[in-house]
C-alpha cells in the first residue's frame, strides 16, 4: 500500500500499461495491429480486457503495412505494436514505407528495462536510433508519468501537418510502474508549427497566373488525398477548366473517368499526360514533390512552364524544381481559397491539342493476343467490379498496369507503396484495408515475386475471416526487373526468375480458396468466381511472361522522350 | 560557401542525434556544430556552420525546421553577425622563447592558462581567421595539442531603430 491510499486527497494511480490502453481509447482507437513479446506482455494483458480489437499478423512488417493501409483507407491514425529487438527491427520496412508516403501511424515498441538499456541486454536494440530517419518523430519514455502525454503528442504529430509515422519506445518497467492518472494536458510542442493557411498574396498571384494561362496543367499528388482536398480540387478543375494529371500516389484524387483527367504522368505515365506537362505554360503542383520517377530529366522538365507549388511541407517546395509561386499551406485550404479567385477560360486550342494526343496515344495493349495479357486481366477486373473496389498492389509491372488500367474514381481507393516501392506491401495492405472497410470489396493486384515476400499473411486473412482477394499477375519473373534487363542489359536475365509454389494449392493449404487461369478464355470466369467468393481467395493468372510496361521514359531521359509509343499508335 | 545557421532546440535527449542524423541522411556537409544550453534550461542553442550554395543551405534550413524538437532556425546570411571560436592550444615553449611567445599571445589578446617547463597552454577566442592566424604564428615553435569548439554566433542588434514614419508603409 502506498502512502497515497491513506490520504484523503489520494490521486488515483494505474499501471502504465493501463494508462497506454486508456490513452489509445481516448483517441478513438478501435483496432490495432500487434505482435507479442516479453516486454509488451503487460500491455497485451491490459488489451485483453479492453474493447480494442487486436489483430495479430504473422510478421511485424505485415502488421505495420496493415496499420498503414488501415490509415490510408480511412484517414484515421493506424496503430501497431511490436516487442523490443527483433520485433522492432521487423517494423522498419513498414515504417519507412509509411514515412515516404506520409501515412499517419503510431508505433509502440517495447524496450528492455530502463536500467538494462545500453548493456546489450537480451532482445535489446536501439530502436529510436534505428528508426530515427524513417519516422516523422520518435521518443523513448523514461518517466512513466509522461506516458499519456507522449502518446497524445504522438497522435497529434502523426496526424497533423504532413502526416507520418511516430514511434514511442516503452521500456517494460514503464508499463508496470504505477502512474497517477492525470487529465489531458494541452499539447505544447514549441518546435512544431503547421501552416494550414496559404499566404493570401501568394494565392492571389497563383489565381492571376491561372486566369492568364493558355495551357495550364494541374499536377496532383498524394497530398491531395491525405489532405482531404479532392472536392475542392474537382471544383477548381471544373471552374477554371484545367486538365488534371496525377502521380501514382495521387491516383483517385480526381476521377480518372472525367474528361479533364489526363491520368498518370511520369516514367510509365500516359503519353498525353507527359506531353501536356512538357508543353504547358503553367504547372500547378498540389501536394506532390517532383519525384524523379515523375520528372524524368530535371533540367528538361516542363521547360515552358511557370510553376505554382502548393504544399504543406515547406521543405518540399523548390527542393527539386524551383517554384515561381510557392504557397505553403494545406491543399484543402489553398484550393478552396483559389476556387473563389479563378475564372472559366475556354482554352480551345489547348484542349484540341490534348484531344489529339489522347487519340493518337491512348493507353493500349494487344487485345488480339492469344496469351493472357496482364492488362487484360486488370481491365476485366475493372469492368466486373465496376471500378468500385479498393485496390492494393505489390511493386513492379503489375503496379504500373494497375495504375494504367484500373480507372480510380475516388480518393483512398488505391493503396500502393509509391515512395519506397515496397514489394510485399499488397497482401498485408489488403488485410488492413479490409479490416477498416468490412463491407468493401478489397483486392490485392499482386506480382508473383512481391506476393512471395509476405504471403504468410494469408493465414491472418483466414484466421480473421477476411474476404480479401489476391489477383496474381503471375509472369514467372521479377517482371519489372526483367523488363530493365531486356531493355538495358541485352536480355541477360540474371537471377530475375524464381520458381514459385503452386499458388492456388498453397492458398488451399492456408485454408483460403485457390483459383487459376491459364488460358485467355478462362479469365472472365475466374474473375467472376473470385469476386463471388466470401472467403480469402487467391486467383493465379498465368500471364504472358515477357510483356512490358509501355510507354516508358528511360531513366535520365526527359518526359516526352518515351519509348514504346509506336505500340499505341492508332492506325 | 560557408553559412552560419543558428537553431534553438528543445533540451531533450535525442535532439542532437536527430539533427546530426538529418545532416548525414541528406548528405549535407557540416563544417562545425556547437551546442550549449541557453538561459532557459529547457532550450539549447546550436550554431551550425554548413558548406554549400544558397539552395543547399535553404534545404538545410527547412529540413532543420521540420524536426519536431527544433524550435526555431535562423540563417545569418547577409546579417551583421558576431562569430567566435574558442581554442586551447599547447605550444612548445623552452624558457628562452617565453618572451617571444608571450608577446604573440598578447598581440592576439589570448590568455596563458597553463605553463610548464617546455610548453605553454593558451586560450584564444575570436573570429575564425584570427584563430587561424594564431595557429600559423605558433607553428614554427611546434604545436603539441590543439582543440577548438566550432563557431558560436549571434546577430548584432540593429543599432538604431528606423524612424517610425519610414516603417509605416
Ligand atoms: C523489397 C523490395 N526488394 C526489391 C525491390 C526491387 N524490385 C522492384 S520491382 C521488382 C520485381 C517485382 O516482381 P513481381 O512482384 O513479380 O512484379 P512484376 O513486375 O512481375 O509485375 C523488384 C525485385 C523492391 N521494389 N522491393
Query: What does the pLDDT look like over A212-266, one tens digit per residue?
Result: 999 999 999 999 999 999 999 999 999 999 999 999 999 999 999 999 999 999 9
Residue range A359-364: mean pLDDT, rounded: 92
pLDDT at A269 over 60: yes
d(CA B62, nearest CA chain A) in Å: 5
**pTM, to two decimals:** 0.94
Contact by Cβ (8 Å): A277, A265: yes
Q: What is the pLDDT of residue B162?
A: 61
DSSP tag of A133? G
Q: What is the pLDDT of residue A571?
A: 40
Residue range B59-79: mean pLDDT, rounded: 94
Q: Sort out which chain A residues have CB atoms less than 8 A from B55's CB and list them.
A: 318
Can you tell me the ipTM of this complex? 0.87
Q: What is the pLDDT of residue A331?
A: 97
What confidence tier does A453 reach under pLDDT thresholds 50, 70, 90?
A: very high
Average of per-residue pLDDT values in chain A: 95
Q: Sort out which chain B residues have CB atoms less than 8 A from A314's CB and list them.
A: 62, 65-66
Q: What is the pLDDT of residue A9?
A: 61
Judged by CB atoms closer than 8 Å, whether chains meet at A191 and B72 is answered as: yes
Burial class from Cβ neighbours inside 10 Å (0-12, 13-18, 19+) for residue B29 reads: exposed
Percent above pLDDT 90 for chain B: 81
Helical segments of A281-436, H only = 292-295, 331-341, 348-360, 374-384, 397-405, 426-436
Q: Which atom of ligand 1 is nearest to the CA of A400?
A: 21
Judged by CB atoms closer than 8 Å, whether chains meet at A192 and B68 is answered as: yes
Query: What does the pLDDT look like over A158-184, one tens digit per residue?
Result: 999 999 999 999 999 999 999 999 889
Ligand 1 near A450 CB (within 6 A): yes
Can you tell me the distance from the alpha carbon of A165 to that of A496, in angstroms, rounded to the nearest whole number? 33
Residue range A290-303: mean pLDDT, rounded: 93
Residue range A298-316: mean pLDDT, rounded: 95
pLDDT at A480 over 70: yes
Average of per-residue pLDDT values in chain B: 91
Query: What does the pLDDT look like over A55-85, one tens digit per residue?
Result: 999 999 999 999 999 999 999 999 999 999 9
Contact by Cβ (8 Å): A191, B67: yes
Judged by CB atoms closer than 8 Å, whether chains meet at A315 and B65 is answered as: yes
Query: How far does the centroid of ligand 1 lie from the alpha carbon of residue A493, in Å?
Result: 14
Query: What does the pLDDT look like over A277-287, one tens digit per residue?
Result: 999 999 999 99
Residue range A265-282: mean pLDDT, rounded: 96
Cβ-Cβ contacts under 8 Å for A328 (sequence gap 6 or more): A195, A198, A199, A311, A312, A314, A317
d(CA B22, nearest CA chain A) in Å: 7
Burial class from Cβ neighbours inside 10 Å (0-12, 13-18, 19+) for residue B42 reads: exposed
Q: Does B71 touch chain A (CB under 8 A)?
A: yes
Ligand 1 near A455 CB (within 6 A): no
H or E element at residue A173: helix A172-176
Residue range A434-441: mean pLDDT, rounded: 98
Q: What is the pLDDT of residue B157?
A: 84
- Give nearest CA residue, ligand 1 atom 18: A479
φ and ψ at residue A195, rounded to 5 degrees: -105, 95
Q: Sort out which chain A residues have CB atoms less than 8 A from B18's CB and list them.
A: 132
pLDDT at B124 over 90: yes
Ligand 1 near A395 CB (within 6 A): yes
Residue range B68-76: mean pLDDT, rounded: 95
Across A447-465, b (16+ Cβ under 10 Å) vs e yields bbbbbbbbbbbbbbbbbee
Nearest CA in chain B to A313: B66
What confidence tier does B158 reach under pLDDT thresholds 50, 70, 90?
A: confident
Amino acid at each position: 500500500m502506498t502512502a497515497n491510499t491513506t490520504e484523503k486527497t489520494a490521486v488515483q494511480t494505474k499501471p502504465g500499461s493501463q494508462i497506454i490502453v486508456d490513452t489509445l481509447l481516448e483517441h478513438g482507437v478501435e483496432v490495432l495491429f500487434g505482435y507479442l513479446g516479453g516486454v509488451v506482455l503487460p500491455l497485451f494483458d491490459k488489451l485483453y480486457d479492453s474493447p480494442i480489437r487486436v489483430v495479430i499478423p504473422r510478421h511485424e512488417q505485415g502488421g505495420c503495412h496493415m496499420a498503414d493501409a488501415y490509415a490510408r483507407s480511412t484517414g484515421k491514425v493506424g496503430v501497431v505494436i511490436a516487442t523490443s529487438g527483433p520485433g522492432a527491427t521487423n517494423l522498419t520496412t513498414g515504417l519507412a514505407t509509411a514515412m515516404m508516403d506520409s501515412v499517419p501511424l503510431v508505433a509502440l515498441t517495447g524496450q528492455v528495462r530502463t536500467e538494462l538499456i545500453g548493456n546489450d541486454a537480451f532482445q535489446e536494440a536501439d530502436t529510436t536510433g534505428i528508426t530515427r530517419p524513417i519516422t516523422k518523430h520518435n521518443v523513448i519514455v523514461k518517466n512513466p508519468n509522461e506516458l499519456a502525454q507522449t502518446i497524445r503528442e504522438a497522435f497529434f504529430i502523426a496526424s497533423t501537418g504532413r502526416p507520418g509515422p511516430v514511434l514511442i519506445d516503452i521500456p517494460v518497467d514503464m508499463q508496470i510502474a504505477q502512474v497517477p492518472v492525470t487529465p489531458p494536458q494541452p499539447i505544447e510542442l514549441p518546435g512544431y508549427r503547421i501552416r494550414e493557411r496559404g499566404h493570401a498574396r501568394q494565392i492571389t498571384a497563383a489565381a492571376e497566373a491561372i486566369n492568364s494561362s493558355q495551357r495550364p496543367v494541374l499536377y496532383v499528388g498524394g497530398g491531395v488525398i491525405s489532405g482531404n482536398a479532392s472536392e475542392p480540387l474537382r471544383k477548381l478543375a471544373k471552374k477554371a477548366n484545367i486538365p488534371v494529371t496525377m502521380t501514382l500516389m495521387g491516383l483517385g484524387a480526381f476521377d480518372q473517368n472525367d474528361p479533364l483527367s489526363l491520368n498518370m504522368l511520369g516514367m510509365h505515365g500516359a503519353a498525353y499526360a507527359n506531353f501536356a506537362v512538357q508543353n504547358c505554360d503553367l504547372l500547378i503542383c498540389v501536394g506532390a514533390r517532383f519525384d524523379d520517377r515523375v520528372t524524368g530529366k530535371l533540367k528538361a522538365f516542363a521547360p515552358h512552364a511557370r510553376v505554382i507549388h502548393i504544399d504543406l511541407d515547406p521543405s518540399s517546395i523548390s527542393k527539386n524544381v524551383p517554384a515561381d509561386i510557392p504557397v505553403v499551406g494545406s491543399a484543402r485550404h489553398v484550393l478552396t481559397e483559389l476556387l473563389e479567385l479563378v475564372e472559366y477560360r475556354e482554352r480551345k486550342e489547348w484542349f484540341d491539342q490534348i484531344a489529339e494526343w489522347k487519340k493518337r496515344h491512348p493507353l493500349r495493349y494487344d487485345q488480339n493476343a492469344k496469351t493472357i495479357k496482364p492488362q487484360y486481366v486488370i481491365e476485366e477486373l475493372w469492368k466486373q467490379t465496376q471500378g468500385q473496389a479498393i485496390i492494393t498492389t505489390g511493386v513492379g509491372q503489375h503496379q504500373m498496369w494497375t495504375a494504367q488500367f484500373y480507372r480510380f474514381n475516388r480518393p483512398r481507393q488505391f493503396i500502393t507503396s509509391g515512395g519506397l516501392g515496397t514489394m510485399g506491401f499488397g497482401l498485408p495492405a489488403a488485410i488492413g484495408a479490409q479490416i477498416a472497410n468490412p463491407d468493401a470489396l478489397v483486392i490485392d493486384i499482386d506480382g508473383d515475386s512481391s506476393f512471395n515476400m509476405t504471403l504468410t499473411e494469408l493465414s491472418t486473412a483466414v484466421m480473421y475471416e477476411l474476404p480479401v482477394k489476391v489477383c496474381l499477375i503471375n509472369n514467372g519473373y521479377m517482371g519489372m526487373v526483367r523488363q530493365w534487363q531486356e531493355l538495358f542489359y541485352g536480355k541477360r536475365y540474371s537471377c530475375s526468375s524464381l520458381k514459385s509454389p503452386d499458388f492456388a494449392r498453397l492458398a488451399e493449404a492456408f485454408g483460403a480458396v485457390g483459383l487459376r487461369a491459364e488460358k485467355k478464355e478462362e479469365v472472365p470466369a475466374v474473375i467472376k468466381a473470385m469476386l463471388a467468393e466470401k472467403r480469402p481467395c487467391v486467383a493465379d493468372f498465368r500471364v504472358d511472361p515477357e510483356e512490358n510496361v509501355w510507354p516508358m521514359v528511360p531513366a535520365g531521359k526527359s518526359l516526352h522522350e518515351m519509348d514504346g509509343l509506336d505500340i499505341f499508335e492508332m492506325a | 560557401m560557408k553559412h552560419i545557421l543558428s537553431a534553438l532546440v528543445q533540451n531533450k535527449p535525442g535532439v542532437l542525434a536527430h539533427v546530426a542524423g538529418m545532416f548525414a541522411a541528406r548528405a549535407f556537409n557540416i563544417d562545425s556544430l556547437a551546442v550549449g544550453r541557453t538561459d532557459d534550461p529547457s532550450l539549447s542553442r546550436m550554431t551550425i556552420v554548413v558548406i554549400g550554395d544558397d539552395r543547399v543551405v535553404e534545404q538545410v534550413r527547412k529540413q532543420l525546421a521540420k524536426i519536431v524538437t527544433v524550435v526555431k532556425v535562423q540563417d545569418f546570411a547577409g546579417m551583421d553577425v558576431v562569430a567566435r571560436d574558442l581554442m586551447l592550444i599547447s605550444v612548445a615553449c623552452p624558457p628562452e622563447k617565453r618572451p617571444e611567445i608571450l608577446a604573440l599571445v598578447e598581440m592576439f589578446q589570448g590568455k596563458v592558462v597553463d605553463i610548464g617547463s617546455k610548453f605553454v597552454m593558451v586560450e584564444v577566442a575570436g573570429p575564425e581567421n584570427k584563430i587561424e592566424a594564431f595557429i600559423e604564428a605558433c607553428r614554427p615553435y611546434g604545436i603539441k595539442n590543439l582543440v577548438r569548439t566550432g563557431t558560436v554566433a549571434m546577430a548584432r542588434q540593429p543599432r538604431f531603430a528606423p524612424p517610425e514614419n519610414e516603417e509605416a508603409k
